[in-house]
Amino acid sequence: MSFQQVSTIASLLFLLLFVTLVLVPEIVYWLFKMQGNELGDFLAKRAGMLFLGLSILCFYSRKTKSREVEKIVSLSVGTAMGAMALLGVYELIWGNAGLGILVAVFIEVLIAASFFRLWLDIRPSP
């Protein structure tokens, strides 16, 4: 897939996460088999705002002609999503999240792999 396609899909997913985390974090509690509370709601809303920023970054960079912008966005978003996937697996192993976390991990791995593939394609050959 092209940078424009990956960025557009990621932007839409991040926008969906923003809306979910800010307006209905109970969906995430249910999926991850976690008990919701005031602190969780507070942190979900703050995380949602970060996903809004990622959505905007991906959406507005999707049509760039700059290889440097593509490289920076690909590495940044790929790293963030890869780290989220690793954290999800860690939390599952330690019993802090239910099996539903694997849905998030799967999506995060797909996004990370897509952006890393783009990043590797953009890097100059030695």
> For 6-35, what is each residue's pLDDT tens digit?
999 999 999 999 999 999 999 999 988 889
Give CA–CA dist 12/50, Å, rounded: 14
Q: What is the pLDDT of residue 10?
A: 98
Question: Torsions phi, psi of 35, nearest 5?
Answer: -85, 125
Q: What is the pLDDT of residue 126?
A: 58
Per DSSP, 96 falls in state S
Residue 40: CA atoms inside 13 Å, Cβ hemisphere, count?
A: 13
Asked whether the predicted pLDDT for residue 125 surpasses 70, the reply is no
Asked whether the predicted pLDDT for residue 87 surpasses 70, the reply is yes
pTM, two decimal places = 0.89
